[in-house]
A and B are shown apart, each in its own frame.
Chain A
């Protein structure tokens, strides 16, 4: 008999798994930018929605007619290594000015459904001038215009504004550039993933820097879990919270160490139910689950659900990170790593041109450590780098030395 229905089930399972990982990598998928991904998520939206709701408590909104899918990742992030990047060749992360302009422009874009870059810049100037905290936006400075353009390019890529006429980039050269935008206000509002409005907290502005952790937790607190940690909540709410908080880490972070979890979370993850659910979730979303004594991690063999890969040869810093990791059997000081780095630079003379300056080895170490930290492989404190357990995944295996010696001999 035909096993067509079996084939369909397999196809659906693959697509759902792919859709889940696509959304983890890009929580906002716009039809204009990624038609194929959007189409997949649109077709399989029901099972994908259920998966995110059950395991992570995250809501997925798919708007087939408006052409976007938005996964609201509610979570107080402790990881600073995944910033938004400029849409330029350097892919430099956003800086303070860009973040500020992004927020101010976001507020001003809500005012009218259609606007031009000049009008928007005027509104941003006025808004920043009237606010005593913000630095006034100065459209006559090229650097400012550049930052403004980066912000608008970001909105464009998110699908919040659509260029009707002109090119945003032309504003860098001249403040007189004419660019016409259509604004999707509904989508713009969907950008905010906070459960409590930032403005509703009404925190005095000078307290913000000192209370940041508490504030991040406050804006992402959800009422359905009760008030975690302070007042006793019902068992149902606590279990829901345990499941969601554990899975949010698992699906979003490269490694989850048991030491970083609370006692309750650790107990949940070690319970038969917890383990079983983790395995099921990984299977349904196409991840490989790696369980170890110290923690667990999800491996995405297709590399879909990640913004960056390690180990990889896409940058000198990543290669250096892998090589430095080999030299880290136990905690080492940054000084030692610098020595190793400069040894590497001498050993491979034609490699890493950008790090050949006086300060080269130090910069190489800084960048490489940022990579390792981003993948949850090292911890840095007081000038000492501690390799974390998962770093052993990338250790040099026994078979390697002969190969490498050969390779080096050939140089």
Chain B
């Protein structure tokens, strides 16, 4: 980025004793400009000053001096007006001088106004802005297809830039406010609580919605890039109809601006070199803020409880520690007051404690196995306890076997059901129960699907291997299937059951 350089003396008028007057004068000029009066005489200016709320009397001399100063800073221009009909010499002297704002003056005052508006505004993260960006991108995509829409492309590009600007200013301000909120401690606690809780809710909502919208925008940017952003901008330039006021062609500069903004948009959502999009940073900031805010809330709630008495307790404890005579008493006081000491337990036990009666004395029971080495050389064998590893080989094998069996059963059932062409449901006649269950399952699936125009219903098993095609019986016949557990009756569908893959090979081989 280019370093920012402000022309010298541009904002001098905002400070010093007479700043109020200067600002009023510039304000008056801007107001007049809005009514398309660009040059003001002293008298006009005086009237305008009253209109912008400067009511106190003002000597001509003061006003002239102020204008002179503004002129010196290159904010105001003066020229002589010879076009009027002057009646007297005094009139001529008074009114022939006409003042107007220079370009720099306009900019300086606009800068002040902008600064004030930033001061007054509050930042917010709005999903609506994201939606608007996505919409405008979508519009551009449709407009690109239309040859005569240069003007609309222009306005849409402008709108898009406006929304992007809103997004980045809002985010900047919101982040600023968020960080200030995180820093501010010891404010009024109840409002603090409320504000932070509300902010957390707001952020959570925003983060939840962020992802999906960012994806949409990203996709649309990608599509536009395929068309070529520079072509888009060229057409927008044609639609803009820029006037050539100052002699040079404004086109290249305008295009450069558009390009810069477009890059800005890409940086937010789809950076070209695979860098992290700024929108993701936004999500990170939001997440972190949620966590920090919650922590601060917890901390406040916690530290409000018995804060003062804790200080007193610590001090009193220090005194107690000072006066207790024995070292052991110190340790006992520590252990009782802080409750931080470890438990202590034996680690050697009998492999099966239940073998020893609970009414036996310790002397009667066997001693635990103390390493022999420890007694003879003062060292324990250095192999650590083996971890508890379960013997899983058998379980694994059993499971694999079971899976194989199930698979085989399934294959068998499919074989039984494979109709090898179109048959009626009644064709099955007698069926094994497990096979019948498969068939019922398939029928259910097929019936759950909606029939095609020809009245066939089609479905496949969830693994996609078996397909069933079902047609309603034309004659309204009723089929009966008999299984070991009972009798099933229903419409006599025309059924075709096919297996994909291996089955066809088998058929071919047949």
Contacts and interface: CB of A to CB of B under 8 A. Distances in A.
Contact of B374 (A192, A297, A322): A322
Interface in A38-88: 63, 65-66, 71-84
Contacts of B345: 254, 287, 297-300, 303, 305-306
Interface of A: 2, 24-28, 63, 65-66, 71-84, 93-96, 99-100, 103-104, 106-107, 110-111, 113, 127, 131, 133-135, 158, 184-186, 188-189, 191-194, 197-200, 205-206, 208-209, 212, 215-216, 219-220, 251-255, 275, 287-294, 297-303, 305-313, 316, 319, 322-323, 326, 348, 351, 374-375, 389-397, 400, 403-404, 407-408
Contacts of A307: 341-344
Contacts of B353: 288-291, 299
Interface of B: 185, 291, 294-295, 298-299, 302-303, 305-307, 309-325, 327-350, 353, 356, 358-363, 365-380, 385, 399
Contact of B346 (A65, A75, A299): A299
Nearest to B186: A113
Contacts of A81: 331, 344
A103 B185 contact: no
A297 B346 contact: yes
Top 4 A-B pairs, shortest CB-CB distance? A193-B339, A299-B349, A186-B302, A307-B342
Contacts of B362: 292-294, 389-393
Given A193-B338, A292-B362, A322-B370, 20 more contacts: A65-B298, A73-B340, A80-B329, A80-B331, A99-B334, A106-B314, A189-B305, A194-B313, A197-B306, A216-B333, A297-B346, A300-B346, A305-B342, A306-B342, A310-B346, A312-B374, A313-B374, A319-B374, A322-B375, A407-B377
A219 B337 contact: yes
B331 A93 contact: yes
Contacts of B335: 77, 79-80, 82-83
A316 B377 CA distance: 11
A185 B332 contact: no
Which of A103, A189, A209, A290 counts the most B-chain CB atoms under 10 A from its CB?
A103
Contacts of B368: 393-394
B284 to A, nearest CB: 17
Nearest to A296: B358
> Taking chain B's interface residues, is the majority helix, strand, or loop, or is none over half, making it mixed?
helix
Given A79-B332, A200-B309, A306 B319 contact: no
A293 B357 CA distance: 9
B380 to A, nearest CB: 5
Contacts of A389: 361-363
Contact of B344 (A191, A253, A311, A394): A253
B323 A198 contact: no
B340 A27 contact: yes
A25 B366 contact: no
Contacts of A194: 313, 336-337
A198 B318 CA distance: 10
Contact of A291 (B336, B358, B380, B385): B358
10 contacts: A24-B343, A104-B314, A134-B322, A186-B298, A198-B316, A306-B343, A313-B380, A392-B367, A396-B375, A404-B372
B352 to A, nearest CB: 9
Contacts of B299: 66, 184-186
A24 B343 CA distance: 5
Nearest to B399: A2
Nearest to B325: A209
B358 A191 contact: no
A84 B339 CA distance: 11
Contacts of B344: 79, 81-82, 252-254, 306-308, 374-375
Contact of B303 (A134, A185, A193): A185
Contacts of A306: 342-347
Contacts of A297: 345-346
Contacts of B347: 299-303, 306, 309
Contacts of B377: 407
Contacts of A191: 338, 340
Residue of B291, B306, B375 ringed by the most chain A CB atoms within 10 A = B375
Given A84-B340, A311-B370, A390-B362, A199 B291 contact: no
A409 to B, nearest CB: 10
A131 B360 contact: no
A310 B321 CA distance: 30
B339 A103 contact: no
Given A133-B323, A394-B370, A404-B375, A193 B337 contact: yes
Nearest to B342: A307
A198 B348 contact: no
A400 B336 contact: no
Contact of A208 (B311, B313, B324, B378): B324
Contacts of A205: 319-320, 323
A393 B346 contact: yes
